[in-house]
Amino acid sequence: MTPTSPTSLTRRDVLAAGAVLGAAATIGGTTKPAAAARVPVAREEHPVVIVGSGFGGGVAALRFAQAGVPVLVLERGRRWPTGPNATTFPTLSSLDERALWYGSANQVLGKPLFVAPYVGLLEAVTGRNMTAMCAAGVGGGSLVYQGMTLQPNEELFNHCLPEELDYARMAAVHYPRVARMLRLQTAPDELVRSPTYKPARIFAEHVQREGYDLEKIPMPIDWSWALRELKGEMRPSYTNGDSALGVNNGGKHSIDVTYIKQAEDTGRAKVLTQHNVIDIERAKDGRWVVHVDRTDDRGTILQRKILTTKTLVMAAGSINTTKLLVRSVGRGHLPRIDGLGTNWGTNGDRIYLWTSLAEDFGAVQGGPVVYGSKDWSTPETANTIIQASIPGLGINARSTMMVGFGISDARGRFAYDWLTDEAKLTWPRNGDARLFEAIQARAKRIAAPMGSLADTNAVVPSTWHPLGGVAMGTSADLAGRVHDLPGLYVLDGALIPGSTAACNPSMTIAAVAERAMDEIVAHDLARIV
């Protein structure tokens, strides 16, 4: 189905709402999908059902399949194939319905976006004092994340996560395994020297002037694609910053083209797209009953499925895994789960628009990310700051982006509201204030002289890195086994208690899932099969 016409956003629109990385943080509200006049119902049974196809779901699908176990992966979104000169993803300079999951309100950057419902990329979940962004599509959050792939050090890891995970072993086995799967690279100097990567060079100069740590950030990107763009071999996607909502040209090693592809290549993993899980029950015999709506591109329900399985892996992301389980428990469809909905955090996200009278960042900026600066000296406020591009909109506003994230002990919670039959998020107002002070102090020094910072989170408190809700230690063990509910696993960001130790979450989520799957294959396979 062809998406409707795009809506162009002016530079003023982007600057006013915080630009690029905060772009969709103002999307809110939900609508229930319509159903066809008569909706057929199908019943199926499967050995293993995985809900979600992002970092946790991709790892689980591949490792089960390699162990000889057939798996069914349910993904509410669509596939987003890329390639040279592809136009698969929308861009922030020309938004259309592809940007929005059909359950989100029709607005971006606080500006109405009147498009038809579509099985788009982003869903915003609004709660009290916080909006959390979620992805939809095969590959999950890997489709839209900038790609920063950072591994915490042992001190910070043990500060945020249970020491029983054994950092030494994870650093020797599981983090390197993820790095190999995602084929991490840093941006080559040839690219960084090119004209549109001037903002990255300016950021590096300012960071070093202040005596801060500066490093190139490992990314799951084959940078030769960006170099080919410089040579004019394909339409720009990296070199003009049009990669915040997915890289059209290809070369990004997202989960759909790594873990999921390898799982499907075994012949034992089947991915069903546009299959939206709406409820979970536990049958009297202990098996899991998964209620699914199969939808078309507009969210219309075409078929309802009732799937039964002995092994259910929840990997729909922190927000949707938590919401599904909280709602199912609230309805009485699942037994009580200790600590469910708690230990939820934002990973300390902060997004700034950096405007400078002293520096000319240029109207066109290359991306996604080249450099970052770590201050990991104190676990309580350890943080990382990176520079990110904003898309070219034809006007030079002398601005670029800085993004920070770090360790905060602030926690929110999800609770069931029986009046609305929804799981609702509550976040403490100014919950990450101590961390934000540390990030902002560093960001201001980097932006000086004659630089100003517009704090987008002060306008719309938001996170692109939600974590927790079914956390290890409180609701599940270290391998994601939900306490007292055999056969129910959580293997995504919901398992991580609120922070991934001053790193963006992707690598730690995948590494924890790899560790968990090693244990599950070694000890649980007989029961599963």
Per DSSP, the residues of 135-179 read: E-STTGGGGTS--------HHHHHHHS-GGG-HHHIIIIIHHHHH
Separation of alpha carbons 158 and 177, rounded Å:
20
Separation of alpha carbons 401 and 342, rounded Å:
32
517, amino acid identity: M
**Would the pTM count as exceeding 0.75?**
yes
The pLDDT assigned to 67 comes to 97
Separation of alpha carbons 457 and 349, rounded Å:
8
480 CB-side CA count, 13 A: 36
The pLDDT assigned to 3 comes to 57
The pLDDT assigned to 323 comes to 98
Tokens of 152: 């915490």
Q: Please answer whether residues 326 and 423 qualify as being in contact, where contact means their C-beta atoms are separated by less than 8 angstroms.
A: yes
The pLDDT assigned to 35 comes to 66
Where on the phi/psi map is residue 473: left (φ > 0), alpha (ψ -120 to 50), or beta? left
The pLDDT assigned to 115 comes to 73
Separation of alpha carbons 289 and 302, rounded Å:
20
The domains of the chain, with CATH numbers, are 41-527 (3.50.50.60)
SS3 337: coil
Query: Nearest Cα to 167, choosing from 178, 177, 156, 183?
Result: 156
Separation of alpha carbons 271 and 257, rounded Å:
13
Q: Please answer whether residues 114 and 6 qualify as being in contact, where contact means their C-beta atoms are separated by less than 8 angstroms.
A: no
Query: Nearest Cα to 323, choosing from 421, 441, 238?
Result: 421
Mean pLDDT by 10 residues, the chain (529 residues): 50 43 38 73 98 98 98 98 93 85 62 76 91 94 95 98 98 98 98 97 98 98 97 94 91 97 98 98 97 96 98 98 98 97 97 95 95 97 95 84 96 97 96 95 97 91 95 98 98 98 98 98 90
DSSP 301: E
Where would I find the H helices in 18-140? 55-66
Residues with Cβ within 8 Å of 192's Cβ and at least 6 positions away in sequence, in order, are 200, 201, 370
